[in-house]
Structure formats: structure tokens, C-alpha cells
Amino acid sequence: MPKEFSRTQRVGDQIQRELATILQLDMKDPRLGMVTVSGVDVSRDMSFATAHVTFLGIEGPEAIKEAVEILTEAAGFLRTELAHRMRMRFTPQLRFRYDESLVRGRRLSSLIDEARTDDESVGKDDEESR
């Protein structure tokens, strides 16, 4: 019977939890604001981990790009902290990618709300004309 979760998924989940804690408690860069780690993908050979992050209070492509660069520059510190907290023979190199799924979700939600209000106003106009 196959395992429910592969080792890379379990390692990715643990890296996500530990990285979120490190970013919240130990990272002291005021330019970042609040960072959320929405997921971590680990390569099959466990040499690289790509962390998908979002930022609260940072908007605009340039500001987001700068925040990702800040995290990339701090990757050595973050990797060292992960190595202290996790029991692994080798700690993966960290990469950071901005996760646009929350922005897309908010945009789709607002489009759905707009469509609903348009439908309701059309329905009210039809009832009034009768």
C-alpha cells in the first residue's frame, strides 16, 4: 500500500512551518512587513526548496520584487536557522517565489460580487416593469 505523503511533501511541510516561525520571530528586517509562507516545494533530491510567499502591506510589482530579493539575500541566514531546527543531514538551498494565488482569488471574488449585484439589479428592474 503506497504512502499517503511522500518524504518530499513531509519535508516541505516542516520547512514551511519552521520558515514561517523564523520569519515571524527571528527576521528583523522592517522592509518586509508580515510575510506568509503559503507553501514549500522540495526537489526530489532534496537539494532545493522553493518557498511560495505573500506579503501583507506590500503592494505593487516593484515592492514585491524588492521583498523577494530581501528574502533571497537572507537565504543563508534562513537556511542556517532551518538547519538548527530540523533534523536533516542536509538542509536544502532556499528559493523564494511570490505567490499570486491570494491576489487572483481576491480579484475573482470581487468579479463574482460585481456579477451578483448586476444580476440582482437586472432582476429588480424586471419585477418593477411588470
Show the domain range for 108.
101-130
* Residue 78 and residue 29 share a domain: yes
Instruction: Please check whether residues 46 and 68 belong to one and the same domain.
Output: yes
Rounded distance between C-alpha atoms, residue 44 and residue 8, angstroms: 7
Asked if residue 32 and residue 94 are part of one domain, the reply reads yes
pTM assigned to the model? 0.76
Q: Over the stretch 38-59, which tens digit does the pLDDT of each residue have?
A: 999 999 999 999 999 998 888 8
Q: Looking at residue 18, what is its pLDDT?
A: 94
The total of other beta-carbon atoms located within 10 Å of residue 88's CB is: 13
The per-residue pLDDT for range 1-24, each reduced to its tens digit, is 455 668 889 999 999 999 999 999
Got the DSSP string for 56-82?
ES--SHHHHHHHHHHHHHTHHHHHHHH
Same domain for 91 and 130: no
Query: Do 78 and 120 share a domain, yes or no?
Result: no
69 and 28 fall within a common domain: yes
Q: What is the pLDDT of residues 62-120, one digit of tens each?
A: 999 999 999 999 999 999 999 999 988 899 999 999 988 877 787 888 889 888 888 87
For the chain, how many structural domains are there in total? 2
Give the torsion sign (CA, 102, 106, 109, 111): negative
- In this structure, the answer to whether residues 108 and 128 fall within a common structural domain is yes
